[in-house]
Amino acid sequence: MLTFDTVRELGRALPDVVDGTAYGAPALKLSGKLLACVPTNKSAEPNSIVVHIDLEQRAELLRQNPSVYYITEHYAPHPTMLVRLSKIGRGELAELLRDAHRFILSAQRKRPTTLTGRKSRSRRSGVRNTARRR
C-alpha cells in the first residue's frame, strides 16, 4: 500500500518540488503552491491525499474511477481532488503528480503581470480595507 512517503518520493522527482506543510500537515509544494498534501479536513478518508488538479481533469477522473478518486463538500469548490492511496497504483500516482505539476505551472503562466512586470498576487495582500466609516 502506498503512503505519503511514496507521494513524497514521486513528487520530489519532479522539477522544483519541495517538502513543506499545509495546515500543519506534510505537503509537497511547487513555487510556494500546494501540489499534494495529507488532508486535514475530517471529511477526507484515512490514508488519502489532496492533489491540486484542473477541474475538468478532476471531473473526468472522478467519472472514470470513483473507487480511487473522490471529492467531499469541503474540497469541491477548489481545484483539488482526494485520492485513496490504498486504491491507486504507483505509476498512476506518478502520472497524477506530473499532471498536478503541469497544472500549477500553467496557472502561474496565466496570471496577469502588473505594470512593473511582476506577477500579480492571486490573493489579497493582507492589507485591510481602510475605507472611512460614516
Q: Give the pTM.
A: 0.81
Q: Is residue 117 part of a domain?
A: no
Average pLDDT of the chain, as a whole number = 88
The average pLDDT across 77-87 equals: 97
Grid coordinates given for 45: 478518508
The pLDDT value recorded for residue 23 is 93
Angle at alpha carbon of residue 110, lines to 105 and 116, rounded to 5°: 110
Evaluate whether residue 124 is within a structural domain. no
The residue segments making up the domain with residue 101 are 4-110
119 within domain boundaries: no
| CATH number assigned to the domain comprising residue 97 | 3.90.1150.30
Confidence of residue 109 (pLDDT cuts 50, 70, 90): confident
CA gap 38, 25 in Å, rounded: 6
Q: Is residue 99 part of a domain?
A: yes
Q: Give the pLDDT score at 1.
A: 86
Confidence label for 59 from pLDDT (cuts 50, 70 and 90): very high
Q: Note the pLDDT tens digit of each residue in 16-35.
A: 999 999 999 999 999 999 99
Residue 96, domain member (yes or no):
yes
Q: Tell me how many domains the chain contains.
A: 1
